[in-house]
Structure 1
Amino acid sequence: MTSRPVPEESIGGLLDEIAGQLGFPVPAHLQAALRAVPRHLFLPATLWLRDGNGGHEPCDRESEPDRWWRAAYCDAPLVTQFAEGPDGHRAPSSSASMPSVVVRMLMALSAEAGHSVLEIGTGTGFNAALLSFVCGAENVTSLDVDPELTRRAQRALKASGQQPDVVCADGAGGWRPNAPYDRIIATCSVRTVPLPWLEQTVTGGLLVIPWDTPWCNFGTLIATKQADGTAEGSLAPFGSFMLLRAQQVDAELRAGFPGAGQDPERSMTGLSPWSVAGNDLDAQMYVGLRVPGAWHVWDTEVAEAHTRLWLADGRTSSWACVDYDGQQTSAFAVSQYGARKLWDEVARAYEEYVAAGRPGVHRQRLRLTPDGWGTRHEVSVSGRVA
């Protein structure tokens, strides 16, 4: 697609939308970057927009140019590619991130001219172009595991006038030829930080990495590399990204349970399942960090209850369920099976969360330590071990 002048109302409107999300104007250097890098150059001819019913519908540039252009310059995420899974289900596999989230992450990165930056997940190439404008294209390396996405991004970057080093490679390994880096930023989420990212960051450098747990996909880690090879930082209350390809689990929510002959332990709880798996993202993030490997899903189609919360850990074949009968809101039936008593673990984590003063995501901290081929993380709250 050839470059087309961006009307002031388009870029001005986008900057106003982003400012509305931030609660303050976009910093001047990022305003300059957004004006210099036309977002539409990085979008394919067909976008997939939310249809209001939980799905997506196509928007084609040729047949709906005005709608396509509005989408290009609105503060919303845009699905740019679908992929078919092993079960035949099609799901988004690449997207253009919400511009306000892009700005939040770049603000957290605190990158400046001359900083060496590694981006994990080139995607459309838009973020790499913004980084190139801020730091200088010669200082930016961007990785993507998808060859077709890499080729598209390279073409769009050339059209935009920004040409960082774009490499088709598995981002989990970082990119040693251009290391070390002052800054590492990921546009995909992780459940554990790959060791090469830590190793390839200079002491005092920053890592900005969206975080994911099987329980909750939310939050972004902003960590500083320490002299002893570890990294420490807080989570920020934004960011929900697709999981790093190397850490994706095919069918986390498709395990068959309960299995034949499994006789669970039964009990009652006064803790509402909505307290730990409802709209409180601070609580969900805390539970996800403190109960590793556990995921949940709601079920309204079981015969035994009005609503059921399923919990499971596929690694141990442990599962649990908590039932709401449609009437009683102070007591819920619990069933648990396996080596892990998952509901007990979740309840203890929630008690810790309440005892710690219901810490917001920004008070939840992680310390990353090299561990074999990867890193392990320790959780604390505002400097106190949780």
Structure 2
Amino acid sequence: MTDHAQLHKQLLDRMTTGGSLRTEPWKRAAEAVPRHAFLGGGYFRRVAGSTPTAWESVREGDSGWLDGCYSDESLVTQIAGTVVPEDIRGQITREPTSSSTLPSLVLRMLEDLQVEDGHQVLEIGTGTGYSTAVLCARLGAGNVTSIEYDPWVSSQARAALGHLGTYPTLVTGDGLTGHGAGAPYDRVIATCGVRAVPPAWIEQTRTGGQILATVGGWLGSSELARLTVHEDGTASGPLLGGAVNFMLARSQQPPPLGLLPNLDDGKERPTVIGSDILANWTTRFVVQLAVPGAQRLTLERDGRTEDVLVDTETGSWAAVYEDEGQWLVRQDGPAPLWDTVEEHFGRWRHAGAPALEEFTVTVTAEGQTIRW
């Protein structure tokens, strides 16, 4: 058995034991797709202990490259929108913009997609092409359409898929608009995060079909949602839990904060809800629902740590900090952010602090709501 075959088998065994790979059809599909075939251009490895986070490239043939390909980890393949591993000698500290998702999450989502033989599937976010290849191995390439925003990423995926003799319909464009030419689809699956499920996905999914997407926001908490499309053109369904996190679609990334407001202005008062709720995945998700336009930054000011929420559209802001065992908030702007957080968070806690799996996502012509 070759090195990559042995590593591949070990990865499949780990995913089966861990519960992400659950059924025989998907096991056979995963067995048919070697992950290293989609990482020939290398990937970036986080530099241990770096602040801010730095990345170094790992190329095919480098020590550890093959082991990394078959690790159950997300592997960054592009940084700052254009930088790829072969461009770097040394380290880079910019933000990742494309990656190969950890295989256990890929297979968990494919299992959760609840496909049946013959289903037509639209994949939003081709990425390296690995998940596309697994879909093709399960359903046949003729039943798979995949759309990728980045032309370079799309071309690399096309080449890798072609090398394996796999030829789905590949589209370069804005995944948020879907691909109407191939509609209707039985299933839509997104490997990028969205703030709200786009109407086009619902319009292009047949009645009774399903959409599997990660819904999140600018505070960095997100969850996998599975929506069923109804006859009236709406869609609804539960959050599935598990703290699933993907990079937001590029057009839904937060705007630059720009010049910060004067944080010494505003009105200060005690608050019974401290900024420690922003450190927990579930409570941060609840906060994010309350103030979807807010971004967070942490500052050291006057010898204390302040968590600051800023809404660039309205100009509202709130700074929350602890002083001698008491939480205080100072805020300003047309919409007092922390007042909104307190009201929404208080209702959630009064309801018994339901788990995220008890939340329901509903998308109508008026927009998206998420309620417990």
TM-score w.r.t. structure 1 length? 0.88
* Distance in 2 between residues matched to 1:229 and 1:11, nearest whole Å: 42
Residue 269 (structure 1) aligned with residue 271 (structure 2):
yes
Gaps of 5+ in 2: 83-91
Paired residue for 2:146, among 142, 147, 155? Answer: 142
AA aligned to 1:272 is G
Structure 1 segments, 4+ long, off by >6 Å, are none
Q: Secondary structure at the match of 1:366?
A: strand
Residue 337 of structure 1 corresponds to which residue in structure 2? Answer: 332
Paired residue for 1:221, among 211, 214, 225? Answer: 225
1:8-62 Cα distance to aligned partner (Å, 9 max, x none)? 431222123324543x753222211111011111113321122233432211223
**Where do 1:353-364 residues align within 5 Å?**
353-364=348-359
Q: Secondary structure at the match of 1:189?
A: strand
* Distance in 2 between residues matched to 1:27 and 1:6, nearest whole Å: 26
Distance 1:362 1:52, change over 3 A: farther
* Distance in 2 between residues matched to 1:84 and 1:169, nearest whole Å: 15
Residue 258 (structure 1) aligned with residue 261 (structure 2):
yes
Residue 78 of structure 2 corresponds to which residue in structure 1? Answer: 81
What is the root-mean-square deviation of aligned Cα atoms in Å? 2.1
Residue 384 of structure 1 corresponds to which residue in structure 2? Answer: none
Residue 54 of structure 2 corresponds to which residue in structure 1? Answer: 55
CA contact (8 A) 1:291 1:349 kept: no
CA contact (8 A) 2:127 2:148 kept: yes
Per the TM alignment, residue 226 of structure 1 is displaced from its structure 2 partner at its CA by: 0.8
Q: Secondary structure at the match of 1:115?
A: coil
CA contact (8 A) 2:55 2:93 kept: no
Paired residue for 2:311, among 296, 310, 313? Answer: 313
* Distance in 1 between residues matched to 2:234 and 2:2, nearest whole Å: 46
Per the TM alignment, residue 379 of structure 1 is displaced from its structure 2 partner at its CA by: 2.2
Percent identity of paired positions between Structure 1 and Structure 2: 35
* Distance in 1 between residues matched to 2:77 and 2:207, nearest whole Å: 36
CA contact (8 A) 1:143 1:168 kept: yes
Per the TM alignment, residue 191 of structure 1 is displaced from its structure 2 partner at its CA by: 0.7
- Which moved further from structure 2: 103-112 or 182-191? 103-112
* Distance in 2 between residues matched to 1:109 and 1:352, nearest whole Å: 32
Per the TM alignment, residue 257 of structure 1 is displaced from its structure 2 partner at its CA by: 2.6
Aligned residues: 359
CA contact (8 A) 2:54 2:93 kept: no
Per the TM alignment, residue 209 of structure 1 is displaced from its structure 2 partner at its CA by: 0.7
Gaps of 5+ in 1: 382-386
Per the TM alignment, residue 7 of structure 1 is displaced from its structure 2 partner at its CA by: 4.4
CA contact (8 A) 2:46 2:55 kept: yes
Per the TM alignment, residue 246 of structure 1 is displaced from its structure 2 partner at its CA by: 2.1
CA contact (8 A) 1:282 1:358 kept: no
* Distance in 2 between residues matched to 1:84 and 1:113, nearest whole Å: 36
* Distance in 1 between residues matched to 2:174 and 2:296, nearest whole Å: 29
* Distance in 2 between residues matched to 1:9 and 1:295, nearest whole Å: 44
TM-score w.r.t. structure 2 length? 0.91
Paired residue for 2:247, among 228, 242, 248? Answer: 242
Residue 368 (structure 1) aligned with residue 363 (structure 2):
yes
Q: Secondary structure at the match of 1:283?
A: helix
Per the TM alignment, residue 139 of structure 1 is displaced from its structure 2 partner at its CA by: 0.8
Paired residue for 1:28, among 12, 24, 27? Answer: 24
**Where do 1:158-197 residues align within 5 Å?**
158-197=162-201
Per the TM alignment, residue 92 of structure 1 is displaced from its structure 2 partner at its CA by: 1.0
AA aligned to 1:277 is L
Q: Secondary structure at the match of 2:239?
A: strand
1:67-116 Cα distance to aligned partner (Å, 9 max, x none)? 0110111100000111259xx97221110001111111111111122100
Residue 119 of structure 2 corresponds to which residue in structure 1? Answer: 115
Residue 232 (structure 1) aligned with residue 236 (structure 2):
yes
* Distance in 2 between residues matched to 1:272 and 1:73, nearest whole Å: 41
1:175-230 Cα distance to aligned partner (Å, 9 max, x none)? 11110000001110111222111100000001011112122332111100011100
Residue 11 of structure 1 corresponds to which residue in structure 2? Answer: 8
Q: Secondary structure at the match of 2:137?
A: helix
Residue 35 of structure 2 corresponds to which residue in structure 1? Answer: 39
* Distance in 2 between residues matched to 1:92 and 1:148, nearest whole Å: 15
Distance 1:129 1:227, change over 3 A: same
Residue 282 of structure 1 corresponds to which residue in structure 2? Answer: 282
Q: Secondary structure at the match of 1:308?
A: strand
Per the TM alignment, residue 6 of structure 1 is displaced from its structure 2 partner at its CA by: 6.2
* Distance in 2 between residues matched to 1:32 and 1:232, nearest whole Å: 31
* Distance in 1 between residues matched to 2:322 and 2:154, nearest whole Å: 48
Per the TM alignment, residue 350 of structure 1 is displaced from its structure 2 partner at its CA by: 1.6
